[in-house]
Amino acid sequence: MTEFLLAAAGAVMFTVVLGMVRILRGPGDADRVMAAQLLGTGGVAALLLSGIARGRPASLDLALTLAVLAAFASIGFVKGAAMGQDKSAEGDDDP
Amino acid sequence: MSALVDLFTVAAVSAGILFFLAGVVGLLRFPDALTRLHALTKADNVGLGLIVAGLLPQASSLLEALKLVLVWLTVLLAGATVGQLIARVARRAGTRT
Amino acid sequence: MSPTTLFGLCGAALVGIGLYGLLTDSRLLRKIIAFNLVGSGVFLLFGVIARRGAAAELFGDPVPQALVITGIVVAFSATALAVALLLRLHEAGGGATFDTPADEAGVKRPDP
Amino acid sequence: MSFELSYELLVGLLVLTAAAWSVAARDTYSATVGFVSYGLLIAIMWMQLQAFDVALAEVAIGSGLTGLLLLSAAARLRAAEARVTSRPPVMLRIVAALACTAVSVSIAATVLRLPESAPSLAGAAVGALPATGLGNPVNGVLMAFRAFDTLLEKVVLVLSLVGVWSLAPEPGWSGRPRLLHPFADDGVLRFLARTLPPIGLLFGAHLMWNGADEPGGAFQGATVLAAMWLLVLMAGLGEAPRIRERWLRVAVVAGPMTFITVGLAGIGVAGAFLAYPEPHAKSLILFVELPMMLTIALVLALLVAGPPEPTAGP
């Protein structure tokens, strides 16, 4: 079982890495944010899998920290991206 | 009994990985930001959900199982919210160009 | 090659990558990012040394690990201060780079 | 074993890719996205090194708070940086690359030639741990064996906050830090800012309490709390406090002051500055950690929020 779970963690990491191509290529901010979010979720999944496989409860705490702070960082991304837009297009649909 | 449980874990985790893979393929191959977002949210919610479901029987204590579910709920909550916000950024970028 | 050595080599490469960015990029925010990379590479070397010092039923020497945690906090404080300085410099008209702008409208800055 | 190694090779490659991207990317905003991903990946590396406390700190700070700090700065500087096109001449870049490679190679050579029997203080730390009543050796080092470092680190935090505040333009002094820009948002962000913080608060407290015996601790817990507070502020559910507020200033120094007070009391009771009397060591450490966690959370959040600015609105 341990082997399978570790292999699964590797597989998730690998797929997520493919997604990192989107961070590199863009084209828009939204695409980069999406890839980063996928990386966060994939990281959480990989941490859970390898943590359970090796019987390390601490990695669950780590995954939860990651989940909470990834949500927080994504908000930062979105705000930053929205600000960039506001600069170029003055308040188009802001109340 | 334990073999059956292990079988469930293998099946659920594999299905979860498949969803991650599908999400990534969508993220890379779909033509525009909104369709890519559609693919991404599936990987986020269902993929992680299946992996968590598969890991639940392997948890060594109730607290661990609880944390697993809590992780999933947090990601679900964040994914739903951030998905909305990303879509708004993408749409505004789309309407401008 | 053991994984620990592998990560040590990674740490060495990170220092190099960060140093290159620090030297060649004229944008100040990029210098801050690059500086953080250098720091993080050094922390990683600490981690490798901690891991090698595994003894007494521990997976690593707790002393370097604790030092790294302190280091992370201090690096964050320094980064926050640097970013605040940069934003203030930018608002005061000093620009955000070390470049000497060829013809910046209305921006006068002394030679660095 | 070779399976393990290939997983680690993958993680290593990823870390280096993300690092290279955050240096090489043309646009600073995407470089910052790369840096946040880097913070996440390096945390996985720390986990592979079995340093869970560090991994927690790195995830919380590296990809969370530093990420937000750099992202908001990158968004603000975007227009200014877009005008920059010049790069150093090719020759200069080649020389720089060679010099940096030389540095890397010499560090790598040192890593490869580390002594076979590594020196370690693990035995000493574990041996002295029962006296503190803690179960987590890293926390033992932070709060007892090297408490002086930890105290000074908190002082550094407070001083850098003073530094950031003192950068406020004159009309903004004693005002509120403005967090990013007001973000036109209906409901969605507010929904997250109402539902996530309860989870975060519970979990932050868990990290601090658990830190006595398991990986975690006041600092990691405080980072989660800071992130939650910032989330509430960014969603517009609350306002950052004016920096002239007395309670704020008291709260900012509460942690270090408690630490110093307990440390001074140690001179009389246990014979040295920052020494704990043995039977009460654990309760004293927790007594110090609680106000310290609040201080750290407050200071971290205010550092990200930046200096106070004059507000145009009410």
Full DSSP string of B15-80: HHHHHHHHHHHHHHHSSSHHHHHHHHHHIIIIIHHHHHHHHGGG-SSHHHHHHHHHHHHHHHHHHH
Judged against a pLDDT cut of 50, whether residue A94 lies above it is answered with no
The domain spans of chain B are: 2-96
Distance from C-alpha of D134 to C-alpha of D283, rounded to nearest angstrom: 10
| Ranges of H-type helices in D25-65 | 28-48, 52-57
Which structure tokens are listed for A88?
């170029």
Distance from C-alpha of B65 to C-alpha of B63, rounded to nearest angstrom: 5
The reported pLDDT for the residue numbered D147 is 81
Give the contacts of D172 (CB within 8 A, at least 6 positions apart).
D307, D308, D309, D310, D311
The reported pLDDT for the residue numbered D314 is 42
Closest CA to B93 of C3, A28, D160: A28
Phi and psi at residue C62, to the nearest 5°: -70, -20
The domain spans of chain D are: 1-79, 131-314
The reported pLDDT for the residue numbered C32 is 93
Lowest mean pLDDT among A31-45, A70-84, C65-79: A70-84
The reported pLDDT for the residue numbered D175 is 76
Task: Assess if residue A87 is contained within a domain.
Answer: no
Nearest-Cα distance to chain D for B76, in Å, is 11
**Residue of B17, B45, B97 best to disrupt the A interface, most CBs of A under 10 A:** B17
Give D206-248 pLDDT, tens digit per residue: 888 877 777 777 888 899 999 999 888 888 777 778 888 888 8
Distance from C-alpha of D137 to C-alpha of D120, rounded to nearest angstrom: 13
Q: Are A34 and B36 in contact (CB under 8 A)?
A: yes
Lowest mean pLDDT among A84-93, D32-41, D160-169, D224-233: A84-93
The reported pLDDT for the residue numbered D156 is 92
Judged against a pLDDT cut of 70, whether residue D140 lies above it is answered with yes
Lowest mean pLDDT among A81-85, C15-19, D223-227: A81-85
Domains in chain C, ordered, with CATH? 3-91 (1.10.287.3510)
Distance from C-alpha of B84 to C-alpha of B30, rounded to nearest angstrom: 18
Judged against a pLDDT cut of 60, whether residue C55 lies above it is answered with yes
Nearest CA in chain A to B92: A85
Total domains in chain A come to: 1
Domain harbouring A42, CATH code: 1.10.287
Which DSSP helix (H) or strand (E) runs through D253? helix D246-270
- Compute the average pLDDT of residues A42-52: 87
Task: Assess if residue A88 is contained within a domain.
Answer: no
The reported pLDDT for the residue numbered A88 is 46
- Compute the average pLDDT of residues D169-173: 76
Work out how many CB contacts closer than 8 A connect A with B.
Answer: 150
Task: Assess if residue A39 is contained within a domain.
Answer: yes
Judged against a pLDDT cut of 70, whether residue A93 lies above it is answered with no
CA-based max dimension of chain B: 59
Q: Are D216 and D204 in contact (CB under 8 A)?
A: no
Chain B contact set for A75 (CB, 8 A):
81-82, 85
The reported pLDDT for the residue numbered D185 is 59
Cβ distance of A69 and D47 shorter than 8 Å: no
Per cent of chain B over pLDDT 90 is 0
Give D256-273 pLDDT, tens digit per residue: 888 888 888 888 887 778
